Each structure stands twice: as C-alpha cells, then as structure tokens.
Amino acid sequence: MRIITGKAKGARIEAPEGDATRPTSERIKEAIFSSINFDIEGRRVLDLFAGCGQMGLEAMSRGAESATFVDSSAEAIGYVKANAKRAGFFTDCRYLVSDYRNYIRKASGRDTYNLVFIDPPYSAGMCGDAVKKLLGASLADDGCIFVIESEGDADILGSVTALGSFDVLKSTRYGKKTQVNILLYRGGETS
C-alpha cells in the first residue's frame, strides 16, 4: 500500500499481519478520494478505527490540516505512527489507543472534525452507533463529510440518516462485502 497522491505521494503504508486489521483496498481508497478530492484542503480529520492509518494519512497528503487516529489496538497505533513518520506527518497528527466509545466520551466539548472516516470490523456493526455518538457529543461540524465503510448488506444509510440531516454524496457497493457511503452532514441531530 502507498499514498496515492499529494505531498507524500508514493510513501509506503504498512499494516499489521493477520486478520485483526483489514486495510481498505487500493481500488476502494482511490474511488473514495476521487469523490472527495476537492473537499479535503484544510479539514480536521478523525480516522476512527484507524487500523494502519492509510485513510487519514491519504487525507493529510491531500491537504488536510490535521488528523486524529483512534484504534483500540496498540499494535495498530504503532503502525499508524510509523506510517505517519514515513509520510512526514507525524507532528500534525494525534494518536490514541482507545475504544471508540471512550474516545468520543472524553473528546466531547474538546474536539471537532469536518472529515470522519469510519471503518470498524464489519461483523461488529458499529457504524450507526459511532455516528450517533459523534453527533451526540458534537464532534462533527456542520458540513462534516462522513466516509463509512461497512458490510455490504448493512442498512447504514437508514440508521445514519435518521440521526440528522445528511446529503448522500455517494453510495456504492464493492464486491460482495464492502459498502461505502459518503455523507455530508448538514446538522440537526434528532436523537
């Protein structure tokens, strides 16, 4: 895996061995960033369930202002740090070993983001809950772009759009397992 374009184009991204971390495929990553490419400059990024950090680092390479990487695995965050150093973004990022719920609870009132990547383990079904908690904690600014990767048959759009006003920028299925939804948050959380 490599950073596709921008300041760190070609920088190598490494991930832990095994099935615990499932990096986004190069094809899907390229499609996501083609969709949001002109909306990255200056954004504050949250890479929740960061894994190896490739999504947040790609955003940094394309002009994001900062990135916060959260993952419950210390090993994964170790890889994120090494990848950020290799890409030249180490000091512009924060790294937290934390369950997403604990991070959101502690960050409430302190942090806000306007580009959020959510890609938990598919079988865990945490996407809707993560969005709900982020909105409830006021961590997503109006105009925040949510990039949500989930299991192909999960009804993420139904559960997420019930939480507030969202515009669906893209909703695409890749293969049998992966559904990508790119949503623009307009505000108005209702739950």
In a domain, 135, yes or no: yes
In a domain, 16, yes or no: no
The number of folded domains in the chain is 1
Q: Quote the pLDDT of residue 165.
A: 85
* CA–CA dist 189, 181 (Å, integer): 19
Q: Residue 138 is part of which domain span?
A: 44-187
Q: Quote the pLDDT of residue 190.
A: 45
In a domain, 20, yes or no: no
List CB contacts of 120: < 8 A, sequence separation 6 or more: 48, 49, 100, 126, 127, 130
Q: Quote the pLDDT of residue 176.
A: 81
In a domain, 6, yes or no: no
Residues 43/59, Cβ–Cβ less than 8 Å: yes
- Quickly list DSSP for 28-45: HHHHHHHHHGGG-TTPEE
In a domain, 155, yes or no: yes
Q: Quote the pLDDT of residue 191.
A: 43
169-191: b (≥16 Cβ within 10 Å) or e: eeeeeeeeebbbbbbbbeeeeee
Task: Tokens for 171, please give them.
Answer: 């909703």
Amino acid, res. 35: S
Model-level pTM?
Answer: 0.92
In a domain, 154, yes or no: yes
Q: Tens-of-pLDDT digits for all 191 residues of the chain?
A: 899 999 999 999 999 886 667 778 889 999 999 999 899 999 999 999 999 999 999 999 999 999 999 999 999 999 999 999 999 999 999 999 999 999 999 999 899 999 999 999 876 778 888 999 999 999 999 999 999 998 866 667 776 666 668 888 999 998 888 889 999 998 864 44
In a domain, 23, yes or no: no
In a domain, 176, yes or no: yes
Return the CATH number at 179.
3.40.50.150
